Amino acid sequence: MIIVKLKKDKEKKIKNGYLWIFKDEIFEITGEKKDGEICNVFSSNFEFIGKGIFSKSSNITVKILSLNDEDINEDFFYKKFFKALKIRTNFGNSYRFFHAEADGIPGLIIDKYEKFLVVQFRNKGVENKKSEILSALIRVFKEDIKGIYERSDFETSSQENLDRNTGLLYGENPPDRFIIEEEGIKYIVDIKNGQKTGFFFDQRKNRVYIRQFSKDAIGLDAYSYTGGFALNMAKYGAKKVVAVDKDEYALELLKENAKLNGVEIETVYDDVEHYLDNTEYQFNLMMLDPPSLIKKKTERLKGVQIFKKISELGIKKLDNYGILSLCSCAYQADISLLIEALRRSVENEGIMLQSLDIITQSNDHPWILQIPESLYLKCFWVRVIK
C-alpha cells in the first residue's frame, strides 16, 4: 500500500471538494511507487484524508476516489454508477453516462448508445480495475444493455504506459453503424471508428440553441465532424448550409445523416482557415467549433492568437447582424480567452460584437464548482454588427 503524507494545510482543498493532489503538495511517499495503485492519503498530522489513484508519472500525483476508508471494489463502482444513472433521466436512450471526476471516478468515461456502452479507461488506476468496473456496469444496467465496447485509443501525453485497447468487453458486438436520436434529429454513429467514442454528446445544448437563428439562414458548420450543427440548421429552415471538415470519413457520415433527416447540406473537405480565405459565400450564421487547441496554461497566448485568426476569417465572411459562435473544448481556453480573441479579431474594424449567450457542456457532462477543470466546453455566441 502506498501512503501519501501531505504538507501542512494541503488537506483543506480536498475536504472542500477539489480532489487533485500535485507533487509539490506532498511531504512524503512511502511504499512502492507504481502508476495506478490505490493509495491512502494523510494530512501532516496523520489524519486520514482519503483514497486515490497514484501516479508517479504525472504532476497530479493523486486523484482522490473517496474521502472514506473503504475498499475500491465492485461495490464501490456500483454505487457510483447507480448514482450517475439516477441523475440522467432526461436524455433519451443515448448520452454520456459517466463523466470522470465529475461523477467521482477520475479517468473513466462511459457513453451510452441505445443498448450499448462505450468505455474509455484514461488512467492506469481505472485500467487496473477494469474487471470490477465491468461487473458493476452489468449489475446496474442488467438486461438494458446488449454489449460493452472499449475505445481506449485516445491521444494522451501520459507516461503511464496505458494500454490502447479497443474491442468488445461484454455481450454482443455493436453494429458497425447504428442510428441514435437526439432532440428530434437522427444521427448515424460509428462507435468503433469515429472520433472519441463516436459522437459529441457534450454539444447537445448548443445544437438546440442554434435552431432559433436557422430559419432562412445561410449557415456554416466549420469543423463539422458528422454534422451536428449543420443538421440542426438545415432541419430548422436554413436556406443553405455548408459543412467543412478535414475528416473524409466523417463527411461521408454527414452526407448519410443529411439523407436520413431529409435535408440538403453542402460538404467541403478542406482546412477551415483555407476555406474561409477562399470561399465566395457570405454567411449570416456560423459555428466555429475547432478541436482542442491548447493543453497547458503556458499555451494560452498561442491560444488567443489561434482563436483570433479563426474568428477574424469567420467574421469577414459574415453579413451584418450575422450570428457567430466560437467554441473551446479545452479547460485552459476559458471564457476570458475567447473574449480576448474575439475582441482582438475586430480591432480597428469598427465592428461591434454583441454578446448573446455563453453556453457550456450538456448536463450529462456535469461540471463541479469545486473542480474548475471539469468545466471544459464553452461556446460564446455573438451578433456581429458592422
Q: Give the domain CATH number at 84.
A: 3.30.750.80
Asked if 136 and 24 sit in the same domain, the reply is no
Q: What pLDDT does 292 receive?
A: 80
pLDDT at 160 (0 to 100)? 73
Separation between Cα atoms, residue 90 and residue 88, nearest integer Å: 6
What per-residue confidence (pLDDT) applies to 301?
A: 76
Do 44 and 158 fall into the same domain? no
Q: Count Cβ atoms below 10 Å from residue 174 Cβ, excluding itself.
A: 23
Q: Quick one: 18 and 49 in the same domain?
A: yes
Distance from C-alpha of 334 to C-alpha of 336, rounded to nearest angstrom: 6
pLDDT of residue 207: 98
Does 349 lie in the same domain as 304?
yes
Same domain flag for 97 and 214 = no
Pairing of strands 2-6, 38-42: parallel
CATH of the domain at 206: 3.40.50.150
Of the candidates 147, 174, 201, which is a domain's last residue?
Answer: 174
Q: Are residues 61 and 95 in the same domain?
A: no
| DSSP-based helix, strand, coil % in the chain, nearest 5 | 30, 30, 40
- Domain end marker among 174, 199, 224: 174
Same domain, 280 and 143: no
**What length is written for the chain?**
386
Coil, strand, or helix at residue 126? helix
The predicted structure's pLDDT at residue 159: 67
Task: Tell me the Ramachandran region of residue 374: left when phi exceeds 0, alpha when psi lies from -120 to 50, beta otherwise.
Answer: alpha
As for how many domains the chain has, the answer is 3
Q: Is residue 22 domain-shared with residue 138, that is, in the same domain?
A: no
pTM score: 0.95
The span from the CA of 4 to the CA of 26, in Å, is: 7
Query: What HEC string does 200-246 produce?
Result: CHHHHHHHHHHHHHCCCCEEEEECCCCCHHHHHHHHCCCCEEEEEEC
Q: Are residues 370 and 347 in the same domain?
A: yes
DSSP track, 177-193: SEEEEETTEEEEE-TTT
Residue labelled with grid coordinates 459555428: 287
The predicted pLDDT at position 158 comes to: 64
Q: Which pLDDT tens digits describe the chain residue by residue (386 residues)? A: 899 999 999 999 999 999 999 999 999 999 999 999 999 999 999 999 999 999 998 899 999 999 999 999 999 999 999 999 999 988 999 999 999 999 999 999 999 999 999 999 999 999 999 999 999 999 999 989 999 999 999 776 566 778 788 999 999 999 989 999 999 999 999 999 999 999 999 999 999 999 999 999 999 999 999 999 999 999 999 999 999 999 999 999 999 999 999 999 999 999 999 999 999 999 999 999 998 877 777 777 777 898 999 999 999 999 999 999 999 998 888 889 999 999 999 999 999 999 999 999 999 999 999 999 999 999 999 999 99
Among candidate residues 158, 174, 190, the one where a domain is terminated:
174
Structural domain boundaries, residue 192 = 182-385
Q: Distance between CA 253 and CA 200 in Å, rounded? A: 14
Q: Are residues 221 and 352 in the same domain?
A: yes
**Do 41 and 143 sit in the same domain of this protein?**
no
Say yes or no: 133 and 256 in one domain: no
Cα–Cα distance between 326 and 339 in angstroms, integer? 10
